Amino acid sequence: MKKNYLIAVGLLFSIPTQAQIFDVLKSVVKDKTGVDLDQGKATPSTNTSTTSTTNSNINLGNLTSSQISSGLKEALNLGVKEGVQKLGVTDGFLKNEAVKILMPEKLRKIETTLRSLGMGSLADQGVKLLNRAAEDAVTEATPIFTNAITSMTITDAKNILLGSDNAATNYLQTKTQSQLFTAFQPKVKASLGKVGADTVWKNIISKYNTFTGQSVTTDLNEYVTTETINGVFKMVAEKETGIRNNSALRTTSLLEKVFGAVKK
């Protein structure tokens, strides 16, 4: 009888003890894994530290594609205007390492030969005049670039706005490089003659061919036209990056409205 009593008492004490232990286990499991043993499924975690915040700083609001396109074009036009002003002066190309026009790659051997023969000054003059031609020709680039920008249809303005720091410049270059080259090449040809680059280079190539017995030719007009256009694009890209990252450079309400919607 006494033995049965002790068993009964033990059972009475063991039931709540087991329940308490189970409650503790449920609490620990829920805290560590999010699983609620009473519900049989995970409780949604409130920890959002791993949630992507890619778009957290983007608020395009009621901006239309037309407004974004106009904002991008305004930034490009501003970049062209300021870029041409910086490049179209004495040493605008020559003293700017980012855009300086070097000896054409296939003529580098001419430079080496001239310097080995003590005619390094002639090589230096050749390079200098290529840059002088670019500095002269680029002053007429603004209307050519402006026309290309105005006539350009931006098919996905939003993606360009949300793209890299020079996405609009890259888009402009892709869409207009060919027409810019065609329109700008006559300007460069005239400038090469104006600064005397064509005469000097004929002399350089003639001397090289005489000393080496070779017959080297090159189209300086094509080379300088391409390098001048690329120089302008580099300046435009620099301006675009500035507008995107520095609100002080958004000098119009449209620029602020469009680029201010994408906070860096």
User: Per residue in 156-180, pLDDT tens?
Assistant: 999 999 999 999 999 999 999 999 9
- Could you tell me if residue 193 is inside a domain? yes
Q: Are residues 20 and 78 in the same domain?
A: no
Q: In this structure, how many other beta carbons lie within 10 angstroms of the beta carbon of residue 264?
A: 9
Total number of domains in the chain: 2
Q: How would you class 224 by CB atoms within 10 Å of its CB: exposed for 0-12, middle for 13-18, buried for 19 or more?
A: buried
In a domain, 50, yes or no: no
Spatial distance between the Cα atoms of 97 and 132, rounded to a whole number of angstroms: 14
Indicate if 240 and 177 belong to the same structural domain. yes
pTM of the model: 0.75
Q: What pLDDT score was predicted for residue 4?
A: 46
* Residue found by looking up tokens 């995107």 in the block: 244
Tokens of 214: 């070779």
Hey, what amino acid is at 197? A
The answer on 96 and 15 residing in a single domain is no
Q: Are residues 19 and 86 in the same domain?
A: no
Please tell me whether residue 42 adopts helix, strand or coil conformation.
strand
Let me know: does 244 contact 259? Beta carbons within 8 Å: yes
User: What does the alpha-carbon distance between residue 236 and residue 170 come to, in Å, rounded to a whole number?
Assistant: 10
Q: Are 138 and 235 in contact (CB under 8 A)?
A: no
Is residue 222 in some structural domain? yes
Q: Is residue 55 part of a domain?
A: no
Sorting pLDDT into bands at 50, 70 and 90, what band is 30? low
Q: CB–CB of 208/123 below 8 Å?
A: no
Contact 185, 90 (CB under 8 A): no
- pLDDT above 50: residue 245: yes
Domain hosting 19: range is: 2-42
132: in domain: yes
In a domain, 138, yes or no: yes
Same domain membership, residue 91 and residue 31 = no
Judge if 118 and 225 occupy the same domain.
yes
Instruction: Identify the burial level of 59 via C-beta atoms within 10 angstroms of its C-beta, where 0-12 means exposed, 13-18 middle and 19 or more buried.
Output: exposed
* Same structural domain, 36 and 149: no
Residue 158 lies in a domain: yes
Instruction: Decide which of 203 and 77 is more confident.
Output: 77
pLDDT number for residue 38: 56
Q: At 133, list the tokens.
A: 């031609």
Rounded to an integer, the average pLDDT of 48-68 is: 61
> What pLDDT does residue 213 have?
84
Q: Which amino acid is at 162?
A: L
Flag whether 9 is in a domain: yes
One domain for residues 38 and 69: no
Do residues 147 and 253 share a domain? yes
User: For 62, how many CA atoms within 13 A lie in the half-sphere containing its CB?
Assistant: 0
- Is 6 found in the same domain as 124? no
The β-bridge relationship of strands 35-36 and 41-42 is antiparallel
Task: Clarify whether residues 151 and 243 are in a common domain.
Answer: yes
Amino acid, single-letter form, for residue 92 = G
Convert the pLDDT of each residue in 176-214 to its tens digit: 999 999 999 999 999 999 999 999 998 888 888 888 888
Whether residues 92 and 177 fall in one domain: yes
The predicted structure's pLDDT at residue 36:
57
User: Which residues fall within 8 angstroms of residue 233, CB to CB, at 6 or more apart?
Assistant: 169, 172, 173
